[in-house]
Structure 1
Amino acid sequence: MRFFGMLLFLTTLLFAKIEHFKTIQSDFTQKVTNDQNKTIVYEGTFYATNDKKALWIYEKPVSKKIYFNNTRVLIIEPELEQVIITTLENTPNIAQLLQEAKEVTPNRYITHYQETTYTIHTQKEQIEKVSYRDKLDNAVEILFTNQSTNLFLDEELFRAEIPRGYDIVRE
């Protein structure tokens, strides 16, 4: 659930920090390093629209899709043959994030959400990297590459289909 919360926050942050876009697409690499210095690396693609739809597609080391809209989040986990459906009750306020993110050096911002400090690095009005320490003291870094804005993204991309036979968990 911590992972989900971070994605929810990050999705909202991306909406907040990149101004004047209709759509965004970016590859991402997420590195999570524990206190024994062991790292797991996730890779995938991120899509979002300015009307708060988002899709995180994890490709490595496991396949997973996470769909966001105005009211819910749907997580499809093929390896577990499971779908998690949850609401957005803990979504941070976008306006509040913009007001609270402080530029500490050029292209580097700091913001806080639920006792976690996030450092955001930007370049040319695009988010380059987000890093933070989670509640288990893991160092998390998400790098964004090949970022494009204002591309046509078909609405079908954001329409999740629950595979037949998958367990459905509602939270």
Structure 2
Amino acid sequence: MRFALLLFTLASLLFAKIDSFKTIQSDFVQKVTNDQNKTIVYQGVFYATHDKKALWIYDKPVEKKIYFNETRVLIIEPELEQVIITTLENTPNIAQLLQEAKEISTNTYVTKFMETTYTILANTHGIEKVLYKDKLDNSVEILFSNQSTNLFLDDTLFKADIPKGYDIIRE
């Protein structure tokens, strides 16, 4: 659940400086480094709309899809043959994040949510990276590349297709 909340927060942060866009698509690389300096690298594609729908598709090292809307998160994990469905009760309001993100230097912004400080680095194409330490003291860096905005994204992209036979876990 923390992972899903984190991703929703990051999806919200992506809109912090590009809120005039109707849609965004971006490749991402997420690096999570623990206190023993071991790093896990995740890769995939991110999609989002101005009306708070988002989809993170993880390709490597494991496949996973995480769907967001205003009220819930749905995580499909093929390797575990399970789906986790949860609500977003403690998720920041995008408008609140927009108001609270402060530019501390050119193209560098900082915001805080639930005791975690997020540093957002932007460039002329949008968000370049997001840096933070999670609650387990892991250093997390999410790099965004190949961003496109205002593309047509069919609403069906954001509707999860739960495979038959998967365990469904509700939190």
TM over 0.5: yes
Q: Aligned residue for 2:120? A: 120
Distance (Å, rounded) in 1 between the aligned partners of 2:158 and 2:92: 21
- Mean Cα deviation higher: 80-89 or 95-104: 95-104
Distance (Å, rounded) in 1 between the aligned partners of 2:51 and 2:98: 17
Give matches, 1:6-25, under 5 Å: 6-25=6-25
Q: Aligned residue for 1:106? A: 106
Give matches, 1:79-158, under 5 Å: 79-124=79-124, 126-158=126-158
8 Å contact 2:47–2:56 — kept in the other structure?
yes
8 Å contact 1:129–1:142 — kept in the other structure?
yes
Gaps of 5+ in 1: none
- Mean Cα deviation higher: 66-75 or 39-48: 66-75
Distance (Å, rounded) in 1 between the aligned partners of 2:77 and 2:109: 33
Which AA in structure 2 matches 1:117? T
Name the SS for the 2:51 alignment partner. coil
Q: CA RMSD in A?
A: 0.9
CA positional deviation for 1:16: 2.7
8 Å contact 2:29–2:143 — kept in the other structure?
yes
Name the SS for the 1:8 alignment partner. helix
CA positional deviation for 1:40: 0.2
TM-score for both structures, normalised by structure 1 = 0.97
Distance (Å, rounded) in 2 between the aligned partners of 1:115 and 1:41: 24
8 Å contact 1:15–1:52 — kept in the other structure?
no
Distance (Å, rounded) in 1 between the aligned partners of 2:95 and 2:162: 33
1:21-46, CA deviations, whole angstroms, 9 ceiling, x for partnerless residues?
11100000000000000000000000
Distance (Å, rounded) in 1 between the aligned partners of 2:70 and 2:104: 31
Percent identity over paired residues: 77
Tell me the number of residue pairs that the alignment of Structure 1 and Structure 2 aligns: 171
Distance (Å, rounded) in 1 between the aligned partners of 2:91 and 2:116: 14
Distance (Å, rounded) in 1 between the aligned partners of 2:67 and 2:97: 21
- Mean Cα deviation higher: 11-20 or 142-151: 11-20
Which AA in structure 2 matches 1:39? T
- Mean Cα deviation higher: 150-159 or 34-43: 150-159
CA positional deviation for 1:125: 5.6
CA positional deviation for 1:149: 0.1
Q: Aligned residue for 1:163? A: 163
In the alignment, is residue 32 of structure 1 matched against residue 55 of structure 2? no
Gaps of 5+ in 2: none
In the alignment, is residue 44 of structure 1 matched against residue 40 of structure 2? no
Which AA in structure 1 matches 2:27? D
Distance (Å, rounded) in 1 between the aligned partners of 2:66 and 2:148: 20
TM-score for both structures, normalised by structure 2 = 0.97
Distance (Å, rounded) in 2 between the aligned partners of 1:123 and 1:101: 16
